[in-house]
Chains A and B, each alone.
Chain A
């Protein structure tokens, strides 16, 4: 340091205090992260590796049998497949519907855009349970759809629309749609107008401008939206139970059921399978869309 040349010597004590306080600033969130996130996760992971016990929540011997059961048993395979299917359908349909809506919102004047965003947030303030019951009121045996169809004489006996994979997908999709729209609309509004103008000045018509510029530049919002919707689908236990009925299970239903049955070691192992599914799909989304290209990273 040429600081002595300028005649200015930094005070060592002040330096130390400054550094210490900046460490303290970083340390607080790290501490929170360890206590409230990493700690419980580690604990859960250890539990998933312990043998089940008839008398305690978990035994004391380390074992892989909780995971083995999931890997070997066809029943679990079907559940994992169905979980992936529902997650993909919900995320895919939400994306298809959300993108055009988000584009319309991004084109609005700032004032209307804010109003539209607030309108989209309203349903998010309602509990998922309330909204699932809303769907039951619409699709149930005595629901709106059946009443109308019977009323006009189109059918004699009510259609069984609840308790199917379609209902679960449609229900979850509509419940989670606002997240996708908000995420993509935010990405689209933050794209500098100069990019699409540059494309047009180079001869790209509106469609090709969209394909070659707007779409890739919105990938951070698309990736974030897809991840949020997929992850929330994985964990939407109540909605799945209400709309899918007692016999419709996804991974999260099994976690819940095992935990309620005091099979803690099994519940923990299932939770980690769920986490693994989430991480794999989340990574896949990032690998395919490569939002980092746009955000100034690798």
Chain B
């Protein structure tokens, strides 16, 4: 960001509950205006991390800063953020307008201005007509918008969202993803978004942190974490991957010729030392080729799954499974039959060398 201001900073934060260590030494800097996602399987510590920023959990160790102010020991109601809860947590005894105005009321904004700003916030999420309804009279999508309006109306330094779209059905969720992202861009609100849905994280984020067992395994822009996963976990949690053991035969600069066990291949971007590597290749980056072409590997088609946009082809290559995703653009993608003998290959640059863990 232009001024480089950091809105949220976690410094070496850990959190233990009785037995479980939910968060381990997490450090994050989130610059102003960024849409930052925390992605990971259930139980990996996403919610706990978010609740530490919100002040609902006190970290066992480490410091929390919001807009440069250390808030580690500051109670939630004195921190400059607002939050959208997974259950929305709209107050059932208040109307939509009163719900949205709640934060302003707590900040002692005078009545007239309060009503005006609440109305504006409702306009923003296109719910101006429903101001006098009660939350239970709204659909899930409408409740979601009210929760968003209620959080944004106070113009928080940081917007925290804990799986806010989890309760919506797929179609609505995808609409809300786009809408939420547009709104966030327009307002420039620094946002921390928790999700276990990798597609959602890829779609919406400026930057993603992939968490596992309380640790951030990798952090970076969507393209980077998808194209250059550093660990097997990241490569398989974010999309799908084929994994191979590769032994370096010969190095030429950043490229290397490797023995894959079932043939020879070339890989690029080899900065890892040693000769025994673990590599990942995305299924959509594997090409099927005519049988026996030079530099390819022979295999047999074991299973074909037609998925509409793509066809998933499961190959048997000397006893190991290799998955290939084909775009259904060329008729040839649909021409394969189970049992066919094929060859496959990938471009050197599409093989990613993983960290050994």
Q: Does A25 have its Cβ within 8 Å of any Cβ on chain B?
A: no
Of residues 95 through 109 on chain B, the ones whose CB sits less than 8 Å from some CB of chain A are 102-103, 106-107
Q: Let me know if A217 and B77 touch, CB within 8 A.
A: no
Q: Let me know if A203 and B77 touch, CB within 8 A.
A: yes
- Interchain CA distance A270-B173 in the complex, whole Å: 62
Q: Does B223 have its Cβ within 8 Å of any Cβ on chain A?
A: no
Q: What are the residues of chain A within 8 A of B55 when measuring CB–CB?
A: 200
When A194-B85, A197-B56 are in contact, do A294 and B92 touch as well, CB less than 8 Å?
yes
When A202-B150, A205-B77 are in contact, do A197 and B103 touch as well, CB less than 8 Å?
no
Q: Does B239 have its Cβ within 8 Å of any Cβ on chain A?
A: no
Q: By CB atoms of chain B within 10 A, which of A194, A198, A212 has the most?
A: A198
When A202-B154, A203-B106 are in contact, do A192 and B77 touch as well, CB less than 8 Å?
no
When A216-B93, A293-B92, A296-B92 are in contact, do A192 and B103 touch as well, CB less than 8 Å?
no
Q: Does A204 have its Cβ within 8 Å of any Cβ on chain B?
A: yes
Q: By CB atoms of chain A within 10 A, which of B102, B151, B154 has the most?
A: B102
Q: By CB atoms of chain A within 10 A, which of B55, B56, B78, B85 has the most?
A: B85
Chain A 271-298: CB-based contact to B (< 8 A → 1; otherwise 0)? 0000000000000000000100110100
Q: What are the residues of chain A within 8 A of B106 when measuring CB–CB?
A: 199, 202-204, 208
A-B contacts, CB under 8 A, total: 72
Q: What are the residues of chain A within 8 A of B154 when measuring CB–CB?
A: 202-203
The distance from the CB of B54 to the nearest CB of chain A, in whole angstroms, is 6
- Among residues of A, the one whose C-beta sits closest to the C-beta of B92 is A294
The distance from the CB of B137 to the nearest CB of chain A, in whole angstroms, is 10
Q: Does B133 have its Cβ within 8 Å of any Cβ on chain A?
A: no
Q: Does B81 have its Cβ within 8 Å of any Cβ on chain A?
A: yes
Chain B 71-103: CB-based contact to A (< 8 A → 1; otherwise 0)? 000011110011101010111110000000011
Q: Let me know if A294 and B76 touch, CB within 8 A.
A: no
Chain A 195-224: CB-based contact to B (< 8 A → 1; otherwise 0)? 101111111111011001100110100000
Q: Let me know if B91 and A201 touch, CB within 8 A.
A: no
- Among residues of A, the one whose C-beta sits closest to the C-beta of B135 is A296
Q: By CB atoms of chain B within 10 A, which of A198, A201, A296 has the most?
A: A201
Please, could you name 18 A-B residue pairs with CB atoms under 8 Å apart, sorted by A? A192-B89, A197-B76, A198-B85, A198-B90, A199-B91, A199-B102, A200-B75, A200-B76, A201-B83, A201-B151, A201-B160, A203-B78, A203-B103, A203-B107, A204-B77, A212-B91, A212-B102, A217-B93
